[in-house]
Structure 1
Amino acid sequence: MTLRAGLIGMGAMGRNHARVLAGLEGVELVGVADPMFEEPVHGAPVVTDVEQLIALGIDYAVVACPTGLHESVGLALADAGVSALIEKPLADTVAGAQRLADAFAAKGLVAGVGHIERYNPALQSLQTRLAAGDLGEVYQVVTRRQGPFPHRIADVGVVKDLATHDIDLTSWVTGDDYQSVSAHTVKKSGRPHEDMVAVVAQMTGGVIANHLVNWLSPFKERSTVVTGERGCFIADTLRADLTFYANGVVTTEWELVQAFRGVSEGDMTRFALSKREPLLVEHERFRDAVLGKDSDIVTLEQGLRTVEVAAAILEAAATGRVVSTALAQERG
């Protein structure tokens, strides 16, 4: 069976989705919706809105338009009985994300959120190793995500855009939810939204999480550091590398070297990983889910939870308080 897929949005991320969809086995890209785009995309016609795209007869759609349009586009797809992969964040508000989750659930449709970092080889390997207990008890997760301002982003700040990557991946690799958050934000680029955030969070399992995110750095960094009782994993998702620093068991009698090394430095292992493109893997997983196969996708409930935590971070930054995220877990 060949699935008929549509795409909404031909921005930077939309172009990547179009490229992958055009070559995805078992899928035909039959149309693209974007009012600012006219040329055919990989042979597929371009229409102006989601209703015209639905009229082409599609099995599922990829939503890659600006975040503020996710809710209206997603609700139109759900109402038409079309499954959807919606780029992160799921919506720009918690209420909007909840409405999307409810709409797709009511129709029994397959729907997912495009949290692409889950499919990065370094984080896939890290999650597998943590789940297997390779690190023992996990103490802390520290993420650093920084780079220059992307002018294509105009409707949200770094918390709802970049930081949602870190919120989702931290919950995923630890298997825990966020319990409380505190945060500080700054606005330095003259835009109405924050362009830097520093977050300290407590996870339900006792893990401490720290997220440093900004659009103010001249170089790109994507780092996830997980520290536990047996050592430390460092995932560099720009290069899809994973390194493990073990706690040491060998002592040295050379006191000067011991002072520089620290008492717990041990072996370092850099893992050899199969490095497939994360976006392609994400699309393969979603295609399989639409076909009814057992497949690991980011659900709308998980995407909703990420939006809830992002909203709590913004509240914490605005009020200067530690904000509990436990109430959101009790909804319904």
Structure 2
Amino acid sequence: MADLRAGLIGLGMMGRHHARVLGTLEGVELVAVADPAGDHFGAAKGRLLLSSVSELIDQGIDYCVVAVPTGSHEDVALELADAGVHALIEKPLAHDSQSARRIFSAFTERGLIGGVGHIERYNAALQQARMRIAQGDLGEIYQVATRRQGPFPGRIADVGVVKDLATHDFDLTSWVTQQFYTSVSAQTGHKSGRVHEDLVAVIGQLDNGTVTSHLVNWLSPLKERSTIITGELGTFVADTLTADLTFYGNGSVPTTWDEISRFRGVSEGDVLRYAFQKPEPLRIEHENFRDAVKGAESDIVNFKAGLEVVKVAEAVIRSSATSEVVHLDPLSR
């Protein structure tokens, strides 16, 4: 079978990495790239450099990776859908749920493959966590707590930290636990003089009763990507910067020292850091999307899941504005 013909629009910080992976992806030919602002990072590597998605479409591409600013996702996606071109769109799917629904509908009605770049799903630590949770290694899941913080990224201007950075946590939490959000309560802050929020604290609940908490900001010199999943049999700690997954088991050995037993609660058991392969998440994301376009077995973040994440993000922002708990309607799913 001939290679799929791929295009890429958006050559910023993420776009250049997409170009690197697409340029070496088996079964795919990156035929052209596009960015109206040009190629500041030299991502084209001698390939045809264009300025618009319509010019990419004219090259006869089978699918396109969309790495433009979030506010432009809908316009680019709808033009691709009209041309019958499959699309992998960087997260979030769109800047609001109405836009996300229009994208979802356009691709669904035309039978096109649509994926969202929630790359954390392809991190080996979270892949392992989901597999082990599904096979019952933690028993009932009680709580998921995430911390995602780091310095302000100058490239993000059209959305705040909730719709940009925190959407990773909303998606990975639902995916790892295989549950939906039913409610959120949040507080945000504006500390850097921008229109959009740059920090958020979220408390949520999932449909099986799991409690979640998410601390996210663009204000820390410390870069942290931590997911802590606590269940009836112990706790997983996933560090997605290093792709490490550590299991802290509940102990079966009684604590005989009274002074310790009074405050320890669940006793300490074995601690185990798992060993497993750690491929680059972006490459795994691209391999799965390529396979989906070819009609092979694959695991992509489809537009339905991407829409769900946008709805959670909107609920978080609404909760912060009203100081109320916001409930998400399960019937809309």
With the shorter chain as reference, the TM-score category is: over 0.9
2:255–2:267 contact (8 Å) kept in structure 1: no
Counterpart of 1:14 in structure 2 is 15
Counterpart of 2:29 in structure 1 is 28
Letter of the 1:37 counterpart: G
Aligned with 1:74 (options 65, 72, 77) = 77
2:133–2:177 contact (8 Å) kept in structure 1: yes
Counterpart of 1:211 in structure 2 is 214
Counterpart of 1:264 in structure 2 is 267
Counterpart of 2:190 in structure 1 is 187
1:67–1:92 contact (8 Å) kept in structure 2: yes
1:40–1:46 contact (8 Å) kept in structure 2: no
Aligned with 1:299 (options 288, 298, 302) = 302
Counterpart of 1:232 in structure 2 is 235
Moved more, 233-242 or 249-258: 249-258
Aligned with 1:200 (options 203, 207, 220) = 203
Matches within 5 A, 1:1-332: 1-38=2-39, 41-256=44-259, 258=261, 263-326=266-329, 329-331=330-332
- Secondary structure, in 3 states, of the residue corresponding to 2:23? helix
CA distance in structure 1 between the aligned counterparts of 2:160 and 2:197, rounded to whole angstroms? 5
Structure 1 stretches of 4+ moved >2 Å = 251-263, 329-332
- Shift, 1:101, TM fit: 0.1
1:7–1:64 contact (8 Å) kept in structure 2: yes
2:87–2:115 contact (8 Å) kept in structure 1: yes
Q: Which runs of 5+ in 2 are unaligned?
A: none
- Shift, 1:263, TM fit: 4.7
2:185–2:323 contact (8 Å) kept in structure 1: yes
Q: Which runs of 5+ in 1 are unaligned?
A: none
Deviation readout 1:46-72 (Å, 9 max, x if unpaired): 111000010011000000010000000
Aligned CA-pair RMSD? 1.3
After superposition, the Cα gap between the structure-2 partners of 1:308 and 1:138, relative to the gap in structure 1 and judged at 3 Å, is same
CA distance in structure 2 between the aligned counterparts of 1:279 and 1:212, rounded to whole angstroms? 24
Letter of the 2:285 counterpart: E
Letter of the 1:299 counterpart: N
Letter of the 1:13 counterpart: M
- Shift, 1:294, TM fit: 1.4
Deviation readout 1:66-86 (Å, 9 max, x if unpaired): 000000000000000000000
Deviation readout 1:253-291 (Å, 9 max, x if unpaired): 344565686551111000002010000000000000000
- Secondary structure, in 3 states, of the residue corresponding to 1:51? helix
Letter of the 1:84 counterpart: A
TM-score (norm 2): 0.96
Q: Percent same amino acid at aligned positions?
A: 62
CA distance in structure 2 between the aligned counterparts of 1:257 and 1:42, rounded to whole angstroms? 62
- Secondary structure, in 3 states, of the residue corresponding to 1:86? strand
CA distance in structure 1 between the aligned counterparts of 2:307 and 2:152, rounded to whole angstroms? 26
Letter of the 2:286 counterpart: H
Letter of the 1:288 counterpart: D
- Shift, 1:37, TM fit: 1.1
1:179–1:325 contact (8 Å) kept in structure 2: yes
Aligned length: 330
2:20–2:43 contact (8 Å) kept in structure 1: no
- Secondary structure, in 3 states, of the residue corresponding to 1:330? helix
1:8–1:14 contact (8 Å) kept in structure 2: yes
Deviation readout 1:19-48 (Å, 9 max, x if unpaired): 000000010100111011156712311111
1:244–1:270 contact (8 Å) kept in structure 2: yes
TM-score (norm 1): 0.97
- Secondary structure, in 3 states, of the residue corresponding to 1:81? coil
1:87–1:115 contact (8 Å) kept in structure 2: yes
2:86–2:113 contact (8 Å) kept in structure 1: yes
Letter of the 1:140 counterpart: Q
Letter of the 2:26 counterpart: E
